[in-house]
Amino acid sequence: MPADAILSVRGVAKRYEGLLALAGIDFDVARGEVFGVIGPNGAGKTTLFSCLVGAVAPTSGTIAFRGERIEGLPNYAVVARGLVRTHQIVRPFREMTVEENVSVGAHFGAGRRRKEDAGRRVAEILEKTSLSRKAGGLAGTLTIGELKRLEIARALATEPEVLCLDEVMGGLNPSEIQEAMRLVRSIRDSGVTVLMIEHHVHAVMGVSDRILVLNFGRKIAEGPPSAVIKDAGVIDAYLGVE
Amino acid sequence: MRTARRSLRLAAIEIAALVLLLAAPRFLERGTLNDIWNVAFAVILASAWNLLGGFAGQVSIGYSAFIGIGAYTTALLAAAFSFVVGLPTFRLRGPYFTIATIGVSEAVRLLAAGVSFTGGSSGLRMPAGSFDFTRNYAAMVVLAVGVVALAAWVKASPFGQALAAIRQDIDAAEALGVHSSKYKLLVHALSAAIVAVAGSLFAINFQYISPGSVFDFRLSLSIVLMPIVGGLGTIAGPVLGALLFGYLQIKLLSSPGLRDSYLFIYGTMLIAVMLFEPKGLLGLFHRFLKAARRSFSKPVPDAG
Protein backbone atom coordinates (compact mmCIF):
# COMPACT_ATOMS: atom_id res chain seq x y z
CA MET A 1 0.00 0.00 0.00
CA PRO A 2 1.43 3.42 -1.00
CA ALA A 3 2.46 5.65 1.87
CA ASP A 4 -0.08 8.35 1.10
CA ALA A 5 -3.06 6.04 0.51
CA ILE A 6 -5.92 6.69 2.92
CA LEU A 7 -7.98 3.87 1.44
CA SER A 8 -6.63 0.62 0.00
CA VAL A 9 -8.94 -1.86 -1.68
CA ARG A 10 -7.67 -5.32 -2.65
CA GLY A 11 -9.60 -8.03 -4.44
CA VAL A 12 -12.99 -6.89 -3.17
CA ALA A 13 -15.75 -9.10 -4.56
CA LYS A 14 -19.45 -9.30 -3.81
CA ARG A 15 -21.67 -12.16 -4.90
CA TYR A 16 -25.47 -12.03 -4.61
CA GLU A 17 -26.96 -15.50 -5.19
CA GLY A 18 -25.59 -16.29 -8.62
CA LEU A 19 -24.89 -12.67 -9.54
CA LEU A 20 -21.31 -11.49 -9.29
CA ALA A 21 -21.80 -7.77 -8.62
CA LEU A 22 -18.10 -7.13 -7.98
CA ALA A 23 -15.49 -9.50 -9.38
CA GLY A 24 -12.43 -8.52 -7.34
CA ILE A 25 -11.50 -4.83 -7.44
CA ASP A 26 -8.11 -3.28 -6.55
CA PHE A 27 -7.40 0.43 -6.13
CA ASP A 28 -5.89 2.99 -3.78
CA VAL A 29 -7.16 6.45 -2.94
CA ALA A 30 -4.63 9.10 -1.91
CA ARG A 31 -5.33 11.44 0.96
CA GLY A 32 -6.85 14.70 -0.27
CA GLU A 33 -7.81 13.68 -3.81
CA VAL A 34 -11.14 13.57 -5.61
CA PHE A 35 -11.50 10.03 -6.91
CA GLY A 36 -14.21 9.50 -9.51
CA VAL A 37 -15.96 6.16 -10.07
CA ILE A 38 -17.78 5.74 -13.37
CA GLY A 39 -19.29 2.92 -15.39
CA PRO A 40 -22.52 1.86 -17.09
CA ASN A 41 -25.64 0.94 -15.10
CA GLY A 42 -25.14 -2.27 -13.15
CA ALA A 43 -21.34 -1.99 -13.24
CA GLY A 44 -21.17 -2.44 -9.44
CA LYS A 45 -20.45 1.16 -8.42
CA THR A 46 -23.02 1.43 -5.64
CA THR A 47 -22.22 -2.11 -4.46
CA LEU A 48 -18.60 -1.00 -4.13
CA PHE A 49 -19.62 1.94 -1.90
CA SER A 50 -21.86 -0.33 0.16
CA CYS A 51 -18.90 -2.65 0.76
CA LEU A 52 -16.59 0.24 1.66
CA VAL A 53 -18.84 1.59 4.44
CA GLY A 54 -19.99 -1.81 5.70
CA ALA A 55 -23.63 -1.55 4.62
CA VAL A 56 -22.99 -4.97 3.05
CA ALA A 57 -20.05 -7.29 3.77
CA PRO A 58 -17.85 -8.13 0.78
CA THR A 59 -17.75 -11.83 -0.14
CA SER A 60 -13.96 -11.64 -0.27
CA GLY A 61 -11.12 -9.14 -0.38
CA THR A 62 -9.70 -6.57 2.01
CA ILE A 63 -10.37 -2.88 2.66
CA ALA A 64 -7.82 -0.86 4.62
CA PHE A 65 -8.76 2.59 5.87
CA ARG A 66 -5.87 4.60 7.36
CA GLY A 67 -3.99 1.31 7.59
CA GLU A 68 -6.73 -0.47 9.55
CA ARG A 69 -8.70 -3.38 8.07
CA ILE A 70 -12.39 -2.43 8.06
CA GLU A 71 -14.05 -5.00 5.80
CA GLY A 72 -16.86 -6.73 7.67
CA LEU A 73 -17.25 -3.99 10.28
CA PRO A 74 -20.85 -2.76 10.69
CA ASN A 75 -21.79 0.49 8.97
CA TYR A 76 -21.98 2.62 12.14
CA ALA A 77 -18.49 1.51 13.21
CA VAL A 78 -17.01 2.49 9.83
CA VAL A 79 -18.70 5.90 10.10
CA ALA A 80 -17.20 6.32 13.57
CA ARG A 81 -13.73 5.78 12.03
CA GLY A 82 -14.32 8.57 9.51
CA LEU A 83 -15.62 6.93 6.30
CA VAL A 84 -19.17 7.80 5.24
CA ARG A 85 -21.38 7.61 2.12
CA THR A 86 -24.45 9.35 0.73
CA HIS A 87 -27.33 7.48 -0.90
CA GLN A 88 -28.08 7.66 -4.61
CA ILE A 89 -31.78 7.32 -3.82
CA VAL A 90 -32.09 9.94 -1.09
CA ARG A 91 -33.08 8.68 2.37
CA PRO A 92 -34.02 11.71 4.48
CA PHE A 93 -35.72 11.32 7.86
CA ARG A 94 -38.92 12.85 6.50
CA GLU A 95 -40.59 13.60 9.84
CA MET A 96 -37.56 15.53 11.10
CA THR A 97 -36.58 19.07 10.19
CA VAL A 98 -33.59 19.64 7.90
CA GLU A 99 -31.59 20.81 10.90
CA GLU A 100 -32.46 17.68 12.94
CA ASN A 101 -31.50 15.46 10.00
CA VAL A 102 -28.04 17.01 9.93
CA SER A 103 -27.64 16.95 13.70
CA VAL A 104 -28.09 13.14 13.74
CA GLY A 105 -24.81 12.99 11.81
CA ALA A 106 -23.18 15.52 14.16
CA HIS A 107 -24.20 13.59 17.30
CA PHE A 108 -23.46 10.06 16.15
CA GLY A 109 -20.77 10.29 13.47
CA ALA A 110 -16.99 10.37 13.93
CA GLY A 111 -17.25 13.80 15.61
CA ARG A 112 -19.70 12.69 18.35
CA ARG A 113 -20.41 16.26 19.31
CA ARG A 114 -22.34 17.35 22.37
CA LYS A 115 -25.38 19.57 22.18
CA GLU A 116 -24.29 23.22 21.74
CA ASP A 117 -21.12 22.26 19.92
CA ALA A 118 -23.14 20.13 17.50
CA GLY A 119 -25.55 23.03 16.93
CA ARG A 120 -22.74 25.32 15.81
CA ARG A 121 -21.29 22.67 13.52
CA VAL A 122 -24.73 21.94 12.01
CA ALA A 123 -25.28 25.66 11.29
CA GLU A 124 -21.92 25.84 9.45
CA ILE A 125 -22.75 22.83 7.32
CA LEU A 126 -26.24 24.10 6.48
CA GLU A 127 -24.61 27.36 5.36
CA LYS A 128 -22.04 25.52 3.25
CA THR A 129 -24.68 23.37 1.54
CA SER A 130 -27.06 26.34 1.02
CA LEU A 131 -29.75 24.81 3.26
CA SER A 132 -29.81 27.46 6.01
CA ARG A 133 -33.08 28.93 4.80
CA LYS A 134 -34.73 25.49 4.98
CA ALA A 135 -33.30 24.56 8.40
CA GLY A 136 -36.62 24.56 10.25
CA GLY A 137 -38.67 22.91 7.48
CA LEU A 138 -39.52 19.23 7.42
CA ALA A 139 -37.19 17.18 5.21
CA GLY A 140 -40.21 15.67 3.48
CA THR A 141 -40.99 19.04 1.88
CA LEU A 142 -37.65 19.59 0.07
CA THR A 143 -37.08 19.57 -3.71
CA ILE A 144 -34.83 16.89 -5.24
CA GLY A 145 -31.88 19.30 -5.50
CA GLU A 146 -32.26 20.20 -1.82
CA LEU A 147 -32.60 16.53 -0.84
CA LYS A 148 -29.33 15.73 -2.63
CA ARG A 149 -27.64 18.55 -0.71
CA LEU A 150 -29.21 17.27 2.53
CA GLU A 151 -27.59 13.87 1.87
CA ILE A 152 -24.22 15.62 1.56
CA ALA A 153 -24.86 17.83 4.61
CA ARG A 154 -25.76 14.85 6.84
CA ALA A 155 -22.70 12.92 5.71
CA LEU A 156 -20.44 15.96 6.26
CA ALA A 157 -21.86 16.38 9.75
CA THR A 158 -20.36 13.03 10.72
CA GLU A 159 -16.95 14.70 10.14
CA PRO A 160 -15.49 12.14 7.75
CA GLU A 161 -11.96 11.89 6.44
CA VAL A 162 -13.31 10.13 3.37
CA LEU A 163 -16.68 11.08 1.90
CA CYS A 164 -18.28 8.79 -0.71
CA LEU A 165 -20.81 10.65 -2.86
CA ASP A 166 -23.21 8.41 -4.80
CA GLU A 167 -24.62 10.35 -7.77
CA VAL A 168 -25.26 13.60 -5.97
CA MET A 169 -25.71 15.33 -9.33
CA GLY A 170 -28.40 13.00 -10.66
CA GLY A 171 -31.60 14.87 -11.48
CA LEU A 172 -30.02 18.33 -11.13
CA ASN A 173 -30.23 21.11 -13.73
CA PRO A 174 -27.03 22.59 -15.29
CA SER A 175 -26.73 25.49 -12.84
CA GLU A 176 -27.28 23.14 -9.89
CA ILE A 177 -24.57 20.87 -11.29
CA GLN A 178 -22.16 23.84 -11.40
CA GLU A 179 -23.06 24.57 -7.79
CA ALA A 180 -22.55 20.91 -6.80
CA MET A 181 -19.12 20.86 -8.47
CA ARG A 182 -18.15 23.95 -6.48
CA LEU A 183 -19.35 22.23 -3.30
CA VAL A 184 -17.29 19.08 -4.04
CA ARG A 185 -14.18 21.21 -4.59
CA SER A 186 -14.72 23.15 -1.38
CA ILE A 187 -15.14 19.89 0.54
CA ARG A 188 -11.87 18.65 -0.94
CA ASP A 189 -10.20 21.97 -0.06
CA SER A 190 -11.34 21.57 3.55
CA GLY A 191 -9.15 18.45 3.74
CA VAL A 192 -11.74 15.71 3.12
CA THR A 193 -10.90 13.01 0.59
CA VAL A 194 -13.80 12.53 -1.84
CA LEU A 195 -14.90 9.43 -3.75
CA MET A 196 -17.70 10.10 -6.19
CA ILE A 197 -19.88 7.94 -8.36
CA GLU A 198 -21.28 10.04 -11.16
CA HIS A 199 -23.23 9.45 -14.33
CA HIS A 200 -22.70 13.01 -15.43
CA VAL A 201 -19.37 12.33 -17.17
CA HIS A 202 -18.57 15.96 -17.90
CA ALA A 203 -18.94 16.89 -14.21
CA VAL A 204 -16.91 13.96 -12.89
CA MET A 205 -14.12 14.61 -15.41
CA GLY A 206 -14.11 18.25 -14.31
CA VAL A 207 -13.58 17.67 -10.59
CA SER A 208 -11.74 14.33 -10.31
CA ASP A 209 -8.00 13.96 -9.92
CA ARG A 210 -8.21 10.30 -10.91
CA ILE A 211 -10.98 8.08 -12.20
CA LEU A 212 -11.82 4.38 -11.80
CA VAL A 213 -13.94 2.81 -14.53
CA LEU A 214 -16.02 -0.28 -13.73
CA ASN A 215 -17.89 -2.56 -16.13
CA PHE A 216 -19.71 -5.78 -15.16
CA GLY A 217 -18.07 -5.71 -11.73
CA ARG A 218 -14.52 -5.41 -13.07
CA LYS A 219 -12.04 -2.57 -13.23
CA ILE A 220 -11.46 -1.70 -16.88
CA ALA A 221 -9.44 1.48 -16.44
CA GLU A 222 -7.92 3.75 -13.81
CA GLY A 223 -6.02 7.01 -14.12
CA PRO A 224 -6.27 10.74 -14.72
CA PRO A 225 -9.44 11.87 -16.57
CA SER A 226 -7.53 12.83 -19.73
CA ALA A 227 -6.05 9.32 -20.05
CA VAL A 228 -9.23 7.44 -19.08
CA ILE A 229 -11.37 9.21 -21.69
CA LYS A 230 -9.08 7.99 -24.49
CA ASP A 231 -9.01 4.39 -23.23
CA ALA A 232 -10.35 1.99 -25.85
CA GLY A 233 -12.01 -0.25 -23.26
CA VAL A 234 -13.85 2.67 -21.73
CA ILE A 235 -15.13 3.84 -25.09
CA ASP A 236 -16.35 0.30 -25.82
CA ALA A 237 -18.12 0.06 -22.46
CA TYR A 238 -19.94 3.32 -22.97
CA LEU A 239 -20.69 3.12 -26.68
CA GLY A 240 -21.02 -0.64 -26.91
CA VAL A 241 -19.25 -3.02 -29.34
CA GLU A 242 -20.34 -6.15 -31.06
CA MET B 1 -36.43 29.74 22.26
CA ARG B 2 -39.58 27.83 21.52
CA THR B 3 -38.35 24.51 22.85
CA ALA B 4 -37.15 26.08 26.10
CA ARG B 5 -40.52 27.72 26.70
CA ARG B 6 -42.22 24.45 25.88
CA SER B 7 -40.18 22.44 28.37
CA LEU B 8 -40.77 25.12 31.00
CA ARG B 9 -44.52 24.87 30.44
CA LEU B 10 -44.36 21.08 30.65
CA ALA B 11 -42.37 21.28 33.90
CA ALA B 12 -45.00 23.63 35.37
CA ILE B 13 -47.83 21.28 34.40
CA GLU B 14 -45.94 18.30 35.80
CA ILE B 15 -45.23 19.96 39.16
CA ALA B 16 -48.82 21.17 39.49
CA ALA B 17 -50.11 17.67 38.68
CA LEU B 18 -47.73 16.09 41.17
CA VAL B 19 -48.73 18.46 43.99
CA LEU B 20 -52.44 17.95 43.33
CA LEU B 21 -52.11 14.17 43.10
CA LEU B 22 -50.05 13.92 46.27
CA ALA B 23 -52.47 16.16 48.17
CA ALA B 24 -55.49 14.25 46.90
CA PRO B 25 -55.65 11.65 49.74
CA ARG B 26 -56.51 14.52 52.13
CA PHE B 27 -59.66 15.44 50.22
CA LEU B 28 -60.81 12.43 48.26
CA GLU B 29 -62.31 9.17 49.37
CA ARG B 30 -60.73 5.78 48.87
CA GLY B 31 -62.84 4.84 45.84
CA THR B 32 -61.78 7.91 43.87
CA LEU B 33 -58.15 7.41 44.92
CA ASN B 34 -58.41 3.87 43.61
CA ASP B 35 -59.58 5.23 40.28
CA ILE B 36 -56.65 7.68 40.17
CA TRP B 37 -54.32 4.81 41.09
CA ASN B 38 -55.65 2.85 38.13
CA VAL B 39 -55.25 5.74 35.74
CA ALA B 40 -51.71 6.44 37.00
CA PHE B 41 -50.88 2.76 36.42
CA ALA B 42 -52.22 3.09 32.87
CA VAL B 43 -50.26 6.33 32.27
CA ILE B 44 -47.02 4.61 33.32
CA LEU B 45 -47.62 1.61 31.08
CA ALA B 46 -48.64 3.75 28.09
CA SER B 47 -45.81 6.29 28.41
CA ALA B 48 -43.15 3.66 29.04
CA TRP B 49 -44.28 1.55 26.08
CA ASN B 50 -44.30 4.70 23.94
CA LEU B 51 -40.54 5.10 24.51
CA LEU B 52 -39.94 1.93 22.51
CA GLY B 53 -43.04 1.73 20.31
CA GLY B 54 -43.63 5.42 19.67
CA PHE B 55 -40.14 6.92 19.67
CA ALA B 56 -38.14 4.04 18.21
CA GLY B 57 -40.99 2.47 16.20
CA GLN B 58 -40.46 -1.03 17.64
CA VAL B 59 -43.95 -2.36 18.34
CA SER B 60 -43.88 -4.95 21.12
CA ILE B 61 -47.02 -6.83 22.09
CA GLY B 62 -45.29 -8.65 24.90
CA TYR B 63 -45.24 -6.08 27.67
CA SER B 64 -47.31 -8.00 30.18
CA ALA B 65 -44.15 -10.10 30.61
CA PHE B 66 -42.43 -7.13 32.22
CA ILE B 67 -45.39 -6.26 34.43
CA GLY B 68 -45.46 -9.88 35.50
CA ILE B 69 -41.75 -10.15 36.16
CA GLY B 70 -41.90 -6.87 38.07
CA ALA B 71 -44.85 -8.15 40.06
CA TYR B 72 -43.04 -11.35 40.98
CA THR B 73 -39.61 -9.83 41.50
CA THR B 74 -37.95 -6.52 40.75
CA ALA B 75 -37.34 -4.01 38.02
CA LEU B 76 -33.70 -4.99 37.74
CA LEU B 77 -34.59 -8.50 36.69
CA ALA B 78 -37.07 -7.14 34.15
CA ALA B 79 -34.40 -4.88 32.66
CA ALA B 80 -32.08 -7.88 32.43
CA PHE B 81 -34.87 -9.89 30.86
CA SER B 82 -35.47 -7.12 28.31
CA PHE B 83 -31.99 -7.91 26.97
CA VAL B 84 -32.86 -11.59 26.80
CA VAL B 85 -35.90 -10.65 24.71
CA GLY B 86 -34.19 -7.88 22.78
CA LEU B 87 -30.93 -9.51 21.72
CA PRO B 88 -32.52 -12.12 19.46
CA THR B 89 -35.77 -10.33 18.55
CA PHE B 90 -34.27 -6.97 17.52
CA ARG B 91 -32.62 -8.79 14.62
CA LEU B 92 -36.16 -9.00 13.29
CA ARG B 93 -37.70 -5.96 11.68
CA GLY B 94 -41.17 -4.42 11.80
CA PRO B 95 -44.04 -6.89 12.12
CA TYR B 96 -41.66 -9.84 12.60
CA PHE B 97 -40.33 -8.26 15.79
CA THR B 98 -43.89 -7.65 16.98
CA ILE B 99 -44.94 -11.25 16.42
CA ALA B 100 -41.86 -12.56 18.22
CA THR B 101 -42.67 -10.48 21.31
CA ILE B 102 -46.05 -12.22 21.61
CA GLY B 103 -44.33 -15.59 21.64
CA VAL B 104 -41.80 -14.56 24.27
CA SER B 105 -44.38 -13.14 26.67
CA GLU B 106 -46.61 -16.19 26.33
CA ALA B 107 -43.59 -18.37 27.05
CA VAL B 108 -42.92 -16.40 30.24
CA ARG B 109 -46.54 -16.76 31.31
CA LEU B 110 -46.45 -20.52 30.81
CA LEU B 111 -43.17 -20.71 32.68
CA ALA B 112 -44.59 -18.77 35.64
CA ALA B 113 -47.59 -21.10 35.69
CA GLY B 114 -45.38 -24.18 35.46
CA VAL B 115 -42.68 -23.71 38.08
CA SER B 116 -43.27 -24.07 41.79
CA PHE B 117 -41.60 -21.04 43.41
CA THR B 118 -44.16 -18.76 41.74
CA GLY B 119 -46.97 -20.80 43.23
CA GLY B 120 -47.80 -22.16 39.78
CA SER B 121 -51.04 -21.16 38.10
CA SER B 122 -52.78 -20.54 41.43
CA GLY B 123 -50.43 -17.65 42.11
CA LEU B 124 -48.80 -16.04 45.10
CA ARG B 125 -50.20 -14.23 48.09
CA MET B 126 -48.08 -11.27 49.26
CA PRO B 127 -46.76 -11.52 52.82
CA ALA B 128 -49.43 -9.85 54.96
CA GLY B 129 -48.46 -6.96 57.17
CA SER B 130 -47.00 -3.64 56.32
CA PHE B 131 -49.26 -2.65 53.43
CA ASP B 132 -50.23 1.00 53.27
CA PHE B 133 -52.44 2.14 50.40
CA THR B 134 -51.52 5.83 50.73
CA ARG B 135 -47.86 5.05 50.31
CA ASN B 136 -48.52 2.77 47.35
CA TYR B 137 -50.72 5.47 45.83
CA ALA B 138 -48.00 8.12 46.29
CA ALA B 139 -45.39 5.89 44.67
CA MET B 140 -47.69 5.22 41.73
CA VAL B 141 -48.49 8.89 41.01
CA VAL B 142 -44.86 9.98 41.46
CA LEU B 143 -43.81 7.29 39.00
CA ALA B 144 -46.54 8.33 36.55
CA VAL B 145 -45.50 11.99 36.58
CA GLY B 146 -41.83 10.97 36.49
CA VAL B 147 -42.28 8.78 33.42
CA VAL B 148 -43.94 11.60 31.48
CA ALA B 149 -41.07 13.94 32.40
CA LEU B 150 -38.54 11.28 31.41
CA ALA B 151 -40.25 10.78 28.06
CA ALA B 152 -40.11 14.53 27.36
CA TRP B 153 -36.44 14.57 28.25
CA VAL B 154 -35.65 11.56 26.06
CA LYS B 155 -37.53 13.04 23.12
CA ALA B 156 -35.49 16.26 23.26
CA SER B 157 -32.11 14.52 23.71
CA PRO B 158 -29.70 13.11 21.10
CA PHE B 159 -30.79 9.68 22.37
CA GLY B 160 -34.36 10.52 21.34
CA GLN B 161 -33.10 11.73 17.99
CA ALA B 162 -31.34 8.41 17.44
CA LEU B 163 -34.60 6.60 18.25
CA ALA B 164 -36.52 8.79 15.79
CA ALA B 165 -33.89 8.13 13.11
CA ILE B 166 -34.17 4.37 13.73
CA ARG B 167 -37.96 4.54 13.44
CA GLN B 168 -37.91 6.51 10.19
CA ASP B 169 -35.11 4.70 8.32
CA ILE B 170 -32.92 2.29 10.23
CA ASP B 171 -30.37 1.85 7.41
CA ALA B 172 -29.98 5.61 6.93
CA ALA B 173 -29.54 5.94 10.70
CA GLU B 174 -26.72 3.36 10.65
CA ALA B 175 -25.17 5.14 7.68
CA LEU B 176 -24.83 8.26 9.86
CA GLY B 177 -23.18 6.38 12.71
CA VAL B 178 -26.18 5.42 14.86
CA HIS B 179 -25.51 2.06 16.55
CA SER B 180 -29.15 1.00 16.13
CA SER B 181 -29.13 -2.28 18.04
CA LYS B 182 -27.48 -0.63 21.05
CA TYR B 183 -30.09 2.12 21.25
CA LYS B 184 -32.96 -0.29 20.70
CA LEU B 185 -31.71 -2.47 23.56
CA LEU B 186 -31.21 0.56 25.81
CA VAL B 187 -34.67 1.98 25.29
CA HIS B 188 -36.20 -1.49 25.66
CA ALA B 189 -34.45 -1.94 29.02
CA LEU B 190 -35.48 1.52 30.23
CA SER B 191 -39.07 0.99 29.20
CA ALA B 192 -39.21 -2.55 30.66
CA ALA B 193 -37.75 -1.44 33.99
CA ILE B 194 -40.39 1.28 34.39
CA VAL B 195 -43.21 -1.11 33.52
CA ALA B 196 -41.80 -3.60 36.01
CA VAL B 197 -41.77 -1.06 38.85
CA ALA B 198 -45.43 -0.38 38.09
CA GLY B 199 -46.00 -4.15 38.08
CA SER B 200 -44.50 -4.55 41.53
CA LEU B 201 -46.65 -1.69 42.89
CA PHE B 202 -49.62 -3.45 41.31
CA ALA B 203 -48.74 -6.69 43.09
CA ILE B 204 -48.31 -4.96 46.44
CA ASN B 205 -51.66 -3.22 46.12
CA PHE B 206 -53.61 -6.36 45.25
CA GLN B 207 -51.69 -8.55 47.71
CA TYR B 208 -52.17 -11.42 45.32
CA ILE B 209 -50.74 -12.23 41.88
CA SER B 210 -51.19 -15.07 39.46
CA PRO B 211 -49.83 -15.71 35.97
CA GLY B 212 -53.35 -15.23 34.61
CA SER B 213 -53.60 -11.68 35.96
CA VAL B 214 -50.18 -10.17 35.40
CA PHE B 215 -49.09 -12.01 32.26
CA ASP B 216 -52.45 -11.55 30.58
CA PHE B 217 -52.19 -11.11 26.81
CA ARG B 218 -55.13 -8.69 26.93
CA LEU B 219 -53.04 -6.51 29.24
CA SER B 220 -50.27 -6.51 26.63
CA LEU B 221 -52.80 -5.39 24.04
CA SER B 222 -54.15 -2.57 26.21
CA ILE B 223 -50.63 -1.27 26.72
CA VAL B 224 -50.21 -0.99 22.95
CA LEU B 225 -53.65 0.48 22.30
CA MET B 226 -53.42 3.36 24.79
CA PRO B 227 -50.51 5.22 23.10
CA ILE B 228 -51.87 4.46 19.63
CA VAL B 229 -55.33 5.81 20.41
CA GLY B 230 -53.83 8.80 22.27
CA GLY B 231 -51.11 9.70 19.78
CA LEU B 232 -48.08 7.54 19.02
CA GLY B 233 -44.61 8.95 19.66
CA THR B 234 -45.83 12.08 21.47
CA ILE B 235 -45.62 13.05 25.13
CA ALA B 236 -49.27 13.91 25.76
CA GLY B 237 -50.73 11.16 23.56
CA PRO B 238 -50.07 8.16 25.83
CA VAL B 239 -51.39 10.17 28.80
CA LEU B 240 -54.59 11.01 26.92
CA GLY B 241 -54.99 7.39 25.85
CA ALA B 242 -54.42 6.18 29.41
CA LEU B 243 -56.95 8.67 30.81
CA LEU B 244 -59.54 7.51 28.29
CA PHE B 245 -58.83 3.81 28.86
CA GLY B 246 -58.70 4.22 32.63
CA TYR B 247 -62.02 6.03 32.60
CA LEU B 248 -63.61 3.46 30.29
CA GLN B 249 -62.32 0.57 32.36
CA ILE B 250 -63.82 2.04 35.52
CA LYS B 251 -67.15 2.69 33.79
CA LEU B 252 -67.26 -0.72 32.12
CA LEU B 253 -66.34 -2.66 35.24
CA SER B 254 -69.17 -0.97 37.14
CA SER B 255 -71.79 -2.02 34.60
CA PRO B 256 -72.06 -5.83 34.57
CA GLY B 257 -73.57 -5.99 31.07
CA LEU B 258 -70.54 -4.32 29.52
CA ARG B 259 -67.85 -5.86 31.71
CA ASP B 260 -66.54 -8.23 29.06
CA SER B 261 -66.98 -5.93 26.10
CA TYR B 262 -63.94 -3.73 26.68
CA LEU B 263 -61.72 -5.45 24.11
CA PHE B 264 -64.47 -4.98 21.54
CA ILE B 265 -64.62 -1.28 22.37
CA TYR B 266 -60.82 -0.91 22.28
CA GLY B 267 -60.69 -2.73 18.96
CA THR B 268 -63.30 -0.42 17.48
CA MET B 269 -61.36 2.63 18.67
CA LEU B 270 -58.15 1.23 17.20
CA ILE B 271 -59.77 0.73 13.80
CA ALA B 272 -61.27 4.24 13.93
CA VAL B 273 -57.85 5.73 14.73
CA MET B 274 -56.09 3.80 11.97
CA LEU B 275 -58.68 4.78 9.38
CA PHE B 276 -59.40 8.41 10.26
CA GLU B 277 -56.64 9.91 12.41
CA PRO B 278 -53.34 8.00 12.60
CA LYS B 279 -52.03 10.64 14.99
CA GLY B 280 -54.69 9.67 17.52
CA LEU B 281 -56.64 11.88 19.91
CA LEU B 282 -53.79 14.38 20.00
CA GLY B 283 -53.89 14.65 16.19
CA LEU B 284 -57.63 15.20 16.37
CA PHE B 285 -57.10 17.91 18.97
CA HIS B 286 -54.46 19.68 16.84
CA ARG B 287 -56.72 19.50 13.80
CA PHE B 288 -59.57 21.01 15.81
CA LEU B 289 -57.28 23.74 17.17
CA LYS B 290 -56.11 24.63 13.66
CA ALA B 291 -59.65 24.86 12.36
CA ALA B 292 -60.70 26.99 15.31
CA ARG B 293 -57.74 29.34 14.88
CA ARG B 294 -58.42 29.69 11.17
CA SER B 295 -62.06 30.61 11.71
CA PHE B 296 -61.06 33.19 14.34
CA SER B 297 -58.13 34.83 12.58
CA LYS B 298 -59.70 35.04 9.14
CA PRO B 299 -62.92 37.01 9.23
CA VAL B 300 -65.38 36.25 6.46
CA PRO B 301 -64.30 38.34 3.43
CA ASP B 302 -66.61 41.22 2.63
CA ALA B 303 -69.00 40.78 -0.21
CA GLY B 304 -68.06 42.72 -3.35
Three-state SS at A8: strand
> What's the CA dihedral at B181, B182, B187, B192 to 10 degrees?
90
Q: Which of A132, A205, A210, A197 is nearest to A168 (CA)?
A: A197
| Each residue's pLDDT tens digit, A113-129 | 777 788 899 999 999 99
In angstroms, rounded to a whole number, what is the distance separating the alpha carbons of residues A77 and A220? 31
Task: With beta carbons under 8 A apart, name residues in chain B contacting A80.
Answer: 177
Is the CB of residue B47 less than 8 Å from the CB of residue B243?
no
The reply to whether residue B177 touches residue A91, judged by beta carbons under 8 angstroms, is: no
Mutate to test the interface with B, among A75, A150, A164, A166 (most CBs of B within 10 A): A75
| Each residue's pLDDT tens digit, A79-89 | 999 999 999 99
The reply to whether residue A79 touches residue B171, judged by beta carbons under 8 angstroms, is: no
Q: How many CB atoms lie within 10 A of CB B256?
A: 8
The minimal CB distance from B176 to the residues A74, A79, A115 is found for A79
Nearest CA in chain A to B171: A55
In angstroms, rounded to a whole number, what is the distance separating the alpha carbons of residues B89 and B99? 9
Nearest CA in chain B to A155: B176
Is the CB of residue B82 less than 8 Å from the CB of residue B189?
yes
In angstroms, rounded to a whole number, what is the distance separating the alpha carbons of residues B203 and B212? 13
In angstroms, rounded to a whole number, what is the distance separating the alpha carbons of residues B43 and B203? 17
- Side chain identity at B230, as an amino acid letter? G
Beta strand B124-125 with B208-209: parallel, antiparallel or unpaired?
A: antiparallel
A85 interfaces chain B, CB cutoff of 8 Å? yes
Rounded to the nearest angstrom, the minimum Cα separation between A170 and chain B is 19
Rounded to the nearest angstrom, the minimum Cα separation between A228 and chain B is 31
* Residues forming beta bridges with residue A64, ordered by sequence position: A8, A69
A136 interfaces chain B, CB cutoff of 8 Å? no
Mutate to test the interface with B, among A51, A107, A121, A125 (most CBs of B within 10 A): A107
The reply to whether residue A115 touches residue B172, judged by beta carbons under 8 angstroms, is: no
The reply to whether residue A107 touches residue B165, judged by beta carbons under 8 angstroms, is: no
**In the predicted model, is pLDDT for residue B4 greater than 80?**
no
- Tell me the backbone φ, ψ of residue A88, rounded to 5 degrees: -60, -50
| Each residue's pLDDT tens digit, A82-113 | 999 999 999 999 999 999 999 999 999 888 87
What are the Cα distances from residue B205, in Å, to A181, B37, B71, B195, B209? 68, 10, 10, 15, 10
pLDDT tens for chain A, residues 1 to 242: 455 799 999 999 999 988 899 999 999 999 999 999 999 888 999 999 999 999 999 999 999 999 999 998 999 999 999 999 999 999 999 999 999 999 999 999 888 877 778 889 999 999 999 999 999 999 999 999 999 999 999 999 999 999 999 999 988 899 999 999 999 999 999 999 999 999 888 889 999 999 999 999 999 999 999 888 888 777 777 766 54
Is the CB of residue A237 less than 8 Å from the CB of residue A215?
yes
In angstroms, rounded to a whole number, what is the distance separating the alpha carbons of residues A47 and A51? 6
In angstroms, rounded to a whole number, what is the distance separating the alpha carbons of residues B93 and A11? 32
- Tell me the backbone φ, ψ of residue A213, rounded to 5 degrees: -110, 125
What size, in residues, is chain A? 242
Q: How many CB atoms lie within 10 A of CB B96?
A: 10
B164 interfaces chain A, CB cutoff of 8 Å? yes
